[in-house]
Structure 1
Amino acid sequence: MTVPGSTHAVVAGAGIAGVMTALYLRRRGCRVTLVDRWEPGHPRASSSDYNRILRSIHGADEMYTRWVREARLRWMELEQELGIELYNECGALILAEEGHSTWEEVTIPTFDKLGVPYVKIEPDELPVRFPQFDFRKVAFGLFEPEAGMVLAHKAVTETFKLFLREGGTFHLGRVTTDEAEKPLLDGKPLAADLVVLCCGSWLTYLFRQTLGPILDVVRQDIVYTSTPEGDRSFDADQMPCFVDHGYGAYGIPSIYGWGVKAAIAWHATDIDLDDEDRVVDQSAIARSRQYWAYRFPRLANEIVVDQKACHISITPDTHFIIDFHPRHDNVLIVGGCSGHLFKHGPMLGDYVAGVGLREWGTAPRFKIGPRSSMSLGESPSGR
């Protein structure tokens, strides 16, 4: 085990994985430098946007389900510590499609075993409980009352400020790698006892040899629609977050007047992370309008009020990557968010800090190595 007090750790990437890892390393007594090319919370990152869904549902996967249950409590504790809102418990509604409900079905015994509160709602009851939706082609709904949204941008920036207050340091600079995939900081060898790379989609640029076979980057365009004038039924105190597997969509109710968020299943489109404008494709807006008309008739004629062009690093099995580089034993790679990492933030940061300091080994699911896609009955993400 590494002795924390004598350890200098450098964490590259100041998204949610990076700021949480840096905070938990600092709380273990390490001297920690957090590095990013831009200020934490910048809109180029995977961790950008206003909010993220926090929901326990991960199919039959007990580990991620347990992690979310604990992460929820830690988000609440962080709220109390900082005295600001970071988490809104508006609930989450998972819509199981007729003839395509394997993931939701295998979730039920997992929730029963782990004691996760939920309600299975039959089709005739759904419109009574949630009149905002049109429930065509829905076999049943799973409502998780102890779910909601993490205020993502605020979570990143406020955790970063907390890290600085607790003695961490920040360096505005660029981490790259040489031909052997050894990290460089501003073009010079990065000297530290522990180097943690939490660089999101940029990991595909840094570790082409090591991660090339198991990590892809895809676009995810996010569109926000206005709510009807004088109608508060789409606000977070009256409407839950939702995951709509039949349509390949998910979304978040309006909060602070931001509008209703909708994201249609990502499309495998290449994105130049450094030079491409963060502009939503017009086809994504058209798909979003089509979805609102289908699932939320009262939003059909509302205007687009905001949009975010995001990117997601995804592994074949949608498990994260948390493992040391096969040739550099002080270089820990953290990524492969696969669209479901943010909500785990506090748990992930604590876990990564423990792996980095050799308090425990990484779980087999997180190791660098061959991976393959999973069936819906096995998948933690439902994809």
Structure 2
Amino acid sequence: MKAFDVIVLGLGGVGAAAAYHLALREGRRVLGLERFGVAHDRGSSHGETRIFRRSYDHPGYGPLLDRSLEGWQALERHVGHPLFRRTGLVLVSDAAGMNYEPDAGYVLVEQSVRAHCDLAREAGAELHFEEPALAWHVTEDDGVCVTTTKGRYIGDALVIAGGAWSSELLAALGLPLVVERIPQAWFASSPMWEADAPCFIFDIERGYFFGVPGPEPGRIKVAGRAKRTTVPDPAQLDHALAHDELEAIGDFIEEHLHGVSRMPLAQSACMCTMTPDEHFIVDAHPAFPQVVFAAGLSGHGYKFVPVLGEALADLATDGATQLPIDFLRMRDIPC
């Protein structure tokens, strides 16, 4: 068996960022394991873009947003091309009407996952793709052992960033997680949606819908749903949108998005793993402090990827972090 200082399970958005931050720490032997390929479309970190916004009711997110934006900007400098675009954001709800957030924008999803993986490798991390983890356990000497379809690995600490597979990887904790399906599709759009057109979120009686113009001209992403749909088995996610899902998005477009066709150019589905209060869980395992995890990002976690990766790296190597994540600890989640 090959030994490492830290093993990371899951190399989606958060896991890739954690592997990168761990690899930056001098002398750390880091292994990352991913059941699919790099920047794949089988989980939660895909779909081209994710909205970055600051409009949160809970004050705890503010400092994390600041740190995360710094992380996105630093990642851009390292890879030498843009990953975050500031477009502004329009928020529409039945309760609050319409508001505009000028500093919001979007992050390029697959590109940023690849960037974190590439930089982690450059810093010395060993990353394995197409290698599902079958089980993990704590060893007699307080290390960890991970068994995969291709071998066994031991480490001093384990980071679990399993996304929709978090309930399986952390089964003993009984976390109150529900995996939900998010339909998303891309549509032809008129020139009015190019250049400085903002992202948007509609939380209205018809349902919850959001969208991102571009990054390619003449095309807009619209996602959302009229009703919540759960995913019993994340390994069986169907990317083809059902008739009622396409109808719901199409009806929303006709009512609210002038200059956008309701006929999709492309379509896909994504998963989000929800907690009851829709706050993330970022913590150490209560029985095994050498095992740390992030779970239940609840459909709004991707914007926090850099800071969550940094926090997990702190917890795995130091047992604590100076980042203000106490409100995300497991004790605050009704288990």
Residue 199 of structure 1 pairs with residue 162 of structure 2: yes
User: Any idea what SS the aligned residue of 2:269 has?
Assistant: strand
Return the offset for 1:222. 0.7
Give me the whole-angstrom Cα distance separating, in 1, the residues matched to 2:332 and 2:63.
25
Deviation of 1:249 (Å): 1.4
The CA distance in 1 between the partners of 2:218 and 2:35, in whole Å, is 28
Name 2:48's counterpart in structure 1: 50
Contact in 2 for aligned 1:224/1:258 (Cα 8 Å): no
Q: Where do residues 217-366 of structure 1 align in structure 2 (5 Å cutoff)?
A: 217-227=179-189, 231-235=190-194, 237-246=195-204, 247-257=207-217, 259-265=219-225, 267-299=228-260, 301-358=261-318, 360=320, 363-366=325-328
Q: Determine what percentage of the aligned residue pairs are the same residue.
A: 23
CA spacing shift, 1:258–1:220, aligned 2, 3 Å? farther
With the length of structure 1 as denominator, give the TM-score of the two structures.
0.77
Provide, for residues 251-302 of structure 1, a one-character-per-residue CA deviation record: whole Å limited to 9, x for no partner: 1112214721122246132342223432222211110000001111332x44
Provide the residue aligned with 1:174 in structure 2. Answer: 132
SS in 2 for 1:191: strand
SS of match in other structure, 2:236: coil
DSSP 3-state at the match of 2:228: coil
Gaps of 5+ in 1: 1-5, 102-138, 374-383
Flag the structure with higher strand content.
Answer: 2
Amino acid paired to 2:209: A
Shift of 1:369: 4.3
SS at match of 1:80: helix
Rounded to whole Å, the distance in 1 between the matches of 2:93 and 2:220 is: 21
Distance change in 2, residues 1:179/1:279 (3 Å): farther
Distance across 2 between alignment mates of 1:275 and 1:260: 27
Unpaired runs of 5+ residues, structure 2, are: 139-143
The 1:288/1:164 distance shift into structure 2, 3 A limit, reads: same
Compute the displacement of 1:178 (Å): 6.2
Q: Which moved more, 1:263-272 or 1:13-22?
A: 263-272
Q: Say if 2:115 is the partner of 1:158.
A: yes
* 2:192 match: secondary structure: coil
Instruction: Give the drift of 1:238.
Output: 2.5
Distance 1:313 1:183, change over 3 A: farther
1:221–1:302 distance in 2 versus 1, CA, 3 Å? closer
Match of 1:78 in 2: 75
State the SS of the aligned residue for 1:225.
Answer: strand
Instruction: Give the letter for the 2:211 counterpart.
Output: G
Query: Which whole-Å deviations, capped at 9, do the CAs of 1:324-383 have from their partners, x for residues lacking one?
Result: 22222311121111011111111111111112223525844322347359xxxxxxxxxx
Tell me which amino acid in the other structure corresponds to 1:175. Answer: A
Q: Give 1:190 deviation, angstroms.
A: 4.4
State the distance in 2 between where 1:18 and 1:365 align: 21
- Match for residue 36 of structure 1 among 34, 37, 52: 34
